[in-house]
Amino acid sequence: MDDWLILIPVLLPLSTAILAAVLPKSRAVQAGLSVAATALLVFVSLAIFAKAAGGTILTVSLGSWPAPFGIVMVADLLSAVMLCITSIIALATAVYAIADIDRERLHFGFHSFLQFLLCGICGAFLTGDLFNLYVWFEVMLISSFALLSLGGGKRQLYGTIKYIALNLISTLLLLSAIGLLYGMTGHLNLASLAVAVPQVENANLVTATAILFLIAFGIKAAVFPLFFWLPASYHMPPVTVSAIFAGLLTKVGVYALYRVFSLLFTHDVEWTHTILLWVAGLTMVTGVLGAAVQQNIRRILSFHIISQIGYMIMGLALFTKAAILGGVFYTIHHIIVKANLFFIGGIVERRTGNPFVRNMGGLYRVAPWFSLLFLVPALSLAGIPPLSGFWAKFLVIRAGLDEQAWLIVAAALFTGLMTIYSMLKIWNEAFWKRNPERPDASLFDAPPHGSHGAPPLSRAAQFCLLAPCALLAALTIWIGLWPQPFLAVADQIADQLMNNEAYVQAVLHSRQSPLVETMR
């Protein structure tokens, strides 16, 4: 019965989305439902993590059809960790949305679409077959389309169109790759594919299919050169939407790359993972250079999503246990830090009524405590000790040095230095320099007339904006000061990804399936 627990992270946001659609569109009802559902999702995810951390791989075959013929949901330790981080970011987002989302977007169903998005994300982390991975991607992407365009004007719709266009291309490529793989093996279940793919005689066709998967998931992960949709769209919607997108959406693409390039496509590592390594290096450098020339605070942070994805792909590309450990740890750290930076950037943008850092200033003088909230994720993103980003960068760079991959290590170090430059630019412009136009304006004063026209925030609304920032900053400090348990979890995940027999046996139930005997 414990295995059925892994259905709750999908059914809970799905049922919440339906309830949110039919309940009255009052702020209290919608916000209360969303916060309660995401808080419950945190507890369920922690329960799944507790079982997965004990070495159990939870599996459920729906409709009484055994794997590999039926729909299978699987929660290994990687899936469980991603569920935990997703639920924490979802709770922070639901609280932040109380003060950030206006009545118009609330009326058009913001919380319903948010819960549908969480349903798609959790489903993607838990599915055990490729076709249903595509299905959950579609649930997630349709919800994200709605959230991007909800209540928006011409500029917001322009960014949404770019987002939709490239993701539709990704969808077509993904379906083509799935079709090719099914034609070669007759399987869609990931565990059975892990057995069947190495037996395909035409290795070149398998490699070509792997590249198709790389392009399809690479678009979703925003890797080089497929990332331009992200900075064109992430600065347009409300900050709540930008933050959950920044924290989670690209990481679903990264998760998919880790899953297929550790479980399925390991037949020609020197070719496929070398391509991944070049993609990782170019993603780092182009992303951080793009951030360096931006002035819009959310565009700066958007380009840094791209640059930091490069570190995660670097861990997969090196394909050693130490590198996978570093890549997984980096993903956990980055989800927390990036969502927090968008939350904080939204507060800064609201106070000034302007998204451009050159028009900001004076925040340190009026709110030094808030400045500290910014410094924690900013310095962590740059890799400054003793915060979580230091350990994340240290792990992947050390793995690169162990493999004597000097070029990618140089790219990683250069990206780290340029990240420091970008964070210092935001600090100097928004926090340190004096604001001659509004030198004494407090953090939550109404923005200047003609910008957003928002009134000063109540104390309750201020709490809703600041509490998620404080929570995520505390997590960043905790991981940095006490990394051992997180490293132990990442090490266990790396073991499972590098040695996938336990995953295959758990899904196929070795006593019932001849496929596992074939694997042996």
- Angstrom distance (rounded) from CA 471 to CA 343: 11
Short-list 188, 166, 192, 340, CA closest to 253:
166
Q: Quote the CA–CA distance of 374 and 309 in Å, as a whole number.
A: 21
Contact 344, 373 (CB under 8 A): yes
Q: CA angle, corner 483, sides to 482 and 484, nearest 5?
A: 95
SS3 at position 436? coil
Going by C-alpha positions, the residue among 390, 376, 361, 362 that lies closest to residue 470 is: 376
In 3D space, the residue among 353, 385, 351 whose CA is nearest the CA of residue 366 turns out to be 351
Helices (H), ranges, 150-263: 154-185, 190-196, 203-221, 229-233, 239-244, 250-263
The confidence score (pLDDT) of residue 441 equals: 62
- Identify which of 481, 471, 309 has the alpha carbon closest to the alpha carbon of residue 387: 481
Q: What is the DSSP string of 475-489?
A: HHHHHHH--HHHHHH
Tell me the two tokens of residue 273. Answer: 């993972």
pLDDT digits (tens, 9 = 90+) for 326-370: 999 999 999 999 999 999 999 988 877 778 888 887 788 888 899
Contact 303, 231 (CB under 8 A): yes
Q: Does residue 313 contact residue 255 with C-beta atoms inside 8 Å? A: no
What residue spans of 367-405 are helical by DSSP H? 368-382, 388-402
Q: How far apart are CA 221 and CA 305, in angstroms?
A: 10
Which residue pairs, CB below 8 angstroms and at least 24 apart, start in 195-203?
A: 195/504, 195/508, 195/515, 195/516, 195/518, 195/519, 196/515, 197/264, 197/265, 197/267, 198/267, 199/518, 203/267, 203/268
CA 143 – CA 116 distance, rounded (Å): 6
Pairing between β-strand 72-75 and β-strand 58-61 as defined by DSSP bridges = antiparallel
Three-class SS state of 72: strand
DSSP designation for 452 = T
- The two three-digit tokens of residue 345, written as one number: 């950037």
| Confidence at residue 486, expressed as pLDDT on a 0 to 100 scale | 95
Q: What is the DSSP letter of 151?
A: T
- Domain range annotation of the chain: 2-446+454-507
Is the Cβ–Cβ distance between 333 and 479 less than 8 Å? yes
HSE-up (13 A, CA, CB side) for residue 8: 22
Q: How far is CA 239 from CA 101, 278, 340, 418, in A?
A: 9, 32, 11, 25
* Per-residue pLDDT, 450: 43
The tokens describing 284, both together, are: 């780092």
pLDDT (0 to 100) of residue 166: 80
The Cα–Cα gap between 423 and 292 comes to: 9
Q: What is the pLDDT of residue 127?
A: 94
Matching residue, tokens 């000790």: 385
> What residue type is 79 in one-letter code?
S
3-state SS record for 314-351: HHHHHCCHHHHHHHHHHHHHHHHHHHHHHHHHHHHHHH
Tell me which residues of the chain have a pLDDT lower than 70: 1-2, 152-156, 159, 436-442, 445-456, 510-520
What local confidence, expressed as pLDDT, does residue 55 receive?
86
**Distance, C-alpha 100 to centroid of its chain:** 21
